Structure 1
Amino acid sequence: MTTVKTLLALPGLRPHPNTPAALLDRPVTRIYVTELPDPGRYLSAGELVLSGLLWWRTPGDAEPFVAALAAAGAAALAASGADSDGIPDDVVEACARHRIPLLEVPPDLSFAVVTEQVVLALAAAADGARKRLLTAAAEDAPLPVLLERAAVELGAACWVLSAVPRVVAGTAALPGSPAEPVRQFAAAHGRPTAAAGLTVLPVEGRHAVPWLLAVDGPLSASQTELAEELAGLIGLARARSRLPEELPETGTVRAVALRTDGSAEAADVLAELLAETTFTLTGPAPGEAHALVAEDGSWPEDWAAEATAALSTVEPLLTARRLLAGFSDPGPVAEAKGVLEVARHALSVAANREGPVAVVPAADVGVHQLLLAGVSADLRAALRRRLLGPLLDYDAEQHSDLVRTVRVFLECSGSPTKAAKALHIHVNTLRYRIGRAAELLGVDLGDFVAQVDVYLALVAGKDS
């Protein structure tokens, strides 16, 4: 990384005596020559501004000029005296006030020579930075170490973001939520973009869920080239990463099942979704993946809401038309097969919900649904006909709705008042219909066992 202090090694440049040494560590990204009294609109962060001070006429002229440098984040001002008296005190004081490093350029030193020297120094530094990053990658440096070295070369904080979204690694605390840069990147159709004060670039790779490289602030052309090089190296590091090992043989686990309606690889999406937990994938299939997650305190209390938000953020960047997930309650590792079955049935419930993203916890799946899920469709149809045949036939012949009436009655815990209100009918009408249904079925709909049998037959149908 080229800093103001680095450039002081060039022939002719020297710091003004009033410039604090602490300000000389600022990174320099390029050089900009100007004689405009207010160059603010043309400046970028990290620039070394070179000026002959031809804009300076009287005390007070320095304030807008230096203030513009400070607002843009300029690295330093390199100035040649406006007259034989050297740099005016007005300029010196304004630089001190705005904490802009001030460098002196001898009057006999051509600005063309200074510009050429600075450009060559920046080019040499960029080549060196690339070599150092490549060396770090070749040494299999962990991702946090690679980012730390890149941050030094770029002179800016760096983060790797997963589009789930989450912070994979970073050199500082990310300002704000990772969701915002991901959304803005998606809005830019996957192209490099400025988002929430960051420059965001795609990380190379063939994973379904993309990773992004975010760098603090706008970047110069040379910084952008280095960031693109870094993004490629991060992609290589991701390709070498491994999924967690098998879970212990004892303990408690949850199961998660995820389905993608499209070409997105479900296993990749699920692995990113569970990246901050201890998990193992179990028998992934095209379009669907299953995982067991260790109950080690890393499972959030409201995982359904968090997973829905995460999948909703990443969904615009995927080819999948829908993202569906179901997850189980915790259970012993010894009962992992049953736990997985619960997650799969919760996934089936999610498939019946509307919207591009649906996440269903086991708590949303009734025990009767889980029991019926293990019964073949033919057997369910036979049981439904056996128990409800007379009622089904009566509704078909009379164009009545006794089947629905019975179901609402049972779902209201057998309360005529609640059921009548739910059906928007008089309670006496409700009692008559239930009585007629009981006659047709030959059962007492006030008996608990009969109620269980009839309700299971009702929910076993395709209209359940």
Structure 2
Amino acid sequence: MTPVKTLLEIPELRMRLRTGSALLGREISRIYVTELPDPSRYVSAGEVVLTGLLWWREPGDADPFVAALARAGVAALAASGADSEGIPDDVVRACAQHRIPLLEVPADLSFAVVTERVVLALAADRGREPSGARKRLLSTADAPLPVLLRQGAQELGTGCWVLSGTGRVVGGTSPEAPPVEWFNPGRERTVHDEYTLLPIGGRFRVPWILAVRSPETDDLTDELAGLISLARARADQVRRMADRAAEPLFAALAAGSGDLTAAFTSSGRTDPARVVVARAPEDGAEFATELLAELLAEASASIGVLGEDAYAIAEADEHWPPEWASIARDRLSTVEHLVDLSRVFVGVSGPATVDGLRGATQEALHAVEVAARRGDRVGVVAGEDIAVHHLLVAGAPDELRRSVRERVLGTLLAYDAAQGTDLVRTVRVFLECSSSPTAAAKALHVHVNTLRYRITRASELLGLDLNDFPTQVDVYLALQA
């Protein structure tokens, strides 16, 4: 077996012990990379947890993270300093308190190199000298996913693809990828015709799947899946770091004030842009963020969290598909068949310049509310598909809407309540029928003269001319409020 102290003895790693010298005899089972503030769902006994400390923002953040490792029985924590100052004292203290050995990884050392050396050390101690193919595959551990897949295909002698649980082809050695629907989530691996599909492990809820054009696989296939898992974790880490540049932009949107133009420019975004909002009421903002990252993987976007919702500012360039809402809906439906997906709602605004970004945010939020009210478990709504008057009313504060409704319709509402009539409904149907007495009378199943009398009476009570177009607009907006 491989004890923790072995890692300190590997010259290439240049690791330094920060705390836990009495605990170096703990045995290592595997290595796992994470940047989650709460990794408790994904870590297990005997693991060396490798982290770049992206989850650490201020003193106090370390204790819940390290406590989760201790509860899981993790063998050690290997960390690279969050900045030039190295590992924060808060992290060192938490590891000492919870009895977790802390190894400092040099800032210039790639996590892929750490992973490769640890995997080789574990294999050697288990009496399995890695084959030449395995060593060649491990040598590409730090490479981009396309390079990793090409090397995997070369060593396996067959085609390889990575499929997202949304149905997106993340990468592959040829365009003819098998559909993700062939994958059976209830099995460790699925054989379909001449293909084998197996899940790529990791902390993510939306799965990635490795597809190999062969009905038979060996340990090298599992090794490739493990390296792809690390590649995904690295890519997610890079995305999170890039998203930090947009944090002032999301803060300005949340506050409704501040220099939005400066924040927009510093985020690296260019206009026109679209706002996309994802809401997962049962699963929270972290899962909604993961879904947005998958849905916008082919777009240039920054993702952040405001409250319980995940927000994205995406470039609305010529590459943005006009049917994006339909595509997103299909991809979420695909995920729904692979994982236990609770309710998820997504809203997307139309394109907007930086001056219209706050309005676009309100548009996307209203689209999310519309999706939620439809009653489906998964819904995607584009603001461009919602009538303009609905968007205008939705953007008004509740107090203003109540005030407008009372000022415009108050006398009519009071009359209906006192007399048991329904003139408010009559006015609504009349306006929705383009002010046609004949069409409105037919919709209400009354004689046209009765309809005209009711509209005249409503006009008298309101003190307004319901045949005047600007007045009709005011009354209809009040009805929508």
Question: What TM-score results when the alignment is normalised by the length of structure 2?
Answer: 0.63
CA–CA distance in structure 2, aligned partners of residues 285 and 202 of structure 1 = 31
- Equivalent position to 1:232, from 226, 230, 233: 226
> Alpha-carbon deviation of 1:340?
2.2
Q: 1:408 to 1:126 in 2, by over 3 A?
A: farther
Identity fraction in percent: 52
Letter in 2 for 1:225: D
> Alpha-carbon deviation of 1:292?
1.3
Q: Which runs of 5+ in 1 are unaligned?
A: 1-123
* 2:431 paired with 1:410: yes
State the match for 1:269 in structure 2.
291
> Alpha-carbon deviation of 1:251?
3.3
> Alpha-carbon deviation of 1:457?
1.3
> Alpha-carbon deviation of 1:458?
0.8
Pairwise mapping of residues 334-349 of structure 1 onto structure 2 (< 5 A)? 334-349=355-370
- SS in structure 1 at match of 2:321: coil
State the match for 1:395 in structure 2.
416
State the match for 2:277 in structure 1.
257
> Alpha-carbon deviation of 1:318?
4.4
CA–CA distance in structure 1, aligned partners of residues 410 and 364 of structure 2 = 33
- Equivalent position to 1:382, from 403, 407, 413: 403
- Equivalent position to 2:131, from 127, 135, 143: 127
Q: 1:338 to 1:376 in 2, by over 3 A?
A: closer
- SS in structure 2 at match of 1:202: strand
CA–CA distance in structure 2, aligned partners of residues 197 and 385 of structure 1 = 68
Q: Which moved more, 1:319-328 or 1:365-374?
A: 365-374
State the match for 1:49 in structure 2.
none
- SS in structure 2 at match of 1:136: coil
1:276-296 per-residue CA deviation (whole Å, 9 max, x = no partner) reads 111111x31464111111133
- SS in structure 1 at match of 2:131: helix
| Aligned residues of 1:159 and 1:174 also touching (Cα < 8 A) | no
| Aligned residues of 1:262 and 1:319 also touching (Cα < 8 A) | no
State the match for 1:77 in structure 2.
none
CA–CA distance in structure 1, aligned partners of residues 187 and 463 of structure 2 = 64
| Aligned residues of 1:159 and 1:171 also touching (Cα < 8 A) | yes
CA–CA distance in structure 2, aligned partners of residues 287 and 191 of structure 1 = 33
Q: 1:320 to 1:175 in 2, by over 3 A?
A: closer
The RMSD of aligned alpha carbons is: 2.5
Q: Which runs of 5+ in 2 are unaligned?
A: 1-127, 246-266
* 2:189 paired with 1:192: yes
* 2:209 paired with 1:215: no
CA–CA distance in structure 2, aligned partners of residues 356 and 267 of structure 1 = 18
| Aligned residues of 1:260 and 1:320 also touching (Cα < 8 A) | no
Letter in 1 for 2:175: A
| Aligned residues of 1:157 and 1:216 also touching (Cα < 8 A) | yes
- SS in structure 2 at match of 1:331: coil
> Alpha-carbon deviation of 1:389?
2.0
Letter in 1 for 2:410: G
- SS in structure 1 at match of 2:139: helix
| Aligned residues of 1:266 and 1:286 also touching (Cα < 8 A) | no
CA–CA distance in structure 2, aligned partners of residues 398 and 224 of structure 1 = 81
Letter in 1 for 2:230: L
State the match for 1:67 in structure 2.
none
* 2:351 paired with 1:350: no
Letter in 2 for 1:202: P
CA–CA distance in structure 1, aligned partners of residues 442 and 448 of structure 2 = 8
| Aligned residues of 1:308 and 1:357 also touching (Cα < 8 A) | yes
State the match for 1:167 in structure 2.
169
* 2:174 paired with 1:180: no
Write out the 4+ residue segments of structure 1 that deviate beyond 6 Å after TM superposition.
none
CA–CA distance in structure 2, aligned partners of residues 430 and 415 of structure 1 = 10
Q: 1:190 to 1:452 in 2, by over 3 A?
A: farther
| Aligned residues of 1:315 and 1:323 also touching (Cα < 8 A) | no
| Aligned residues of 2:196 and 2:213 also touching (Cα < 8 A) | yes
| Aligned residues of 1:263 and 1:319 also touching (Cα < 8 A) | no
CA–CA distance in structure 1, aligned partners of residues 209 and 144 of structure 2 = 17
Q: 1:158 to 1:378 in 2, by over 3 A?
A: same
CA–CA distance in structure 1, aligned partners of residues 193 and 291 of structure 2 = 25
Letter in 2 for 1:258: A
- SS in structure 2 at match of 1:275: coil
CA–CA distance in structure 1, aligned partners of residues 447 and 224 of structure 2 = 72
CA–CA distance in structure 1, aligned partners of residues 154 and 479 of structure 2 = 67
Q: 1:383 to 1:251 in 2, by over 3 A?
A: closer
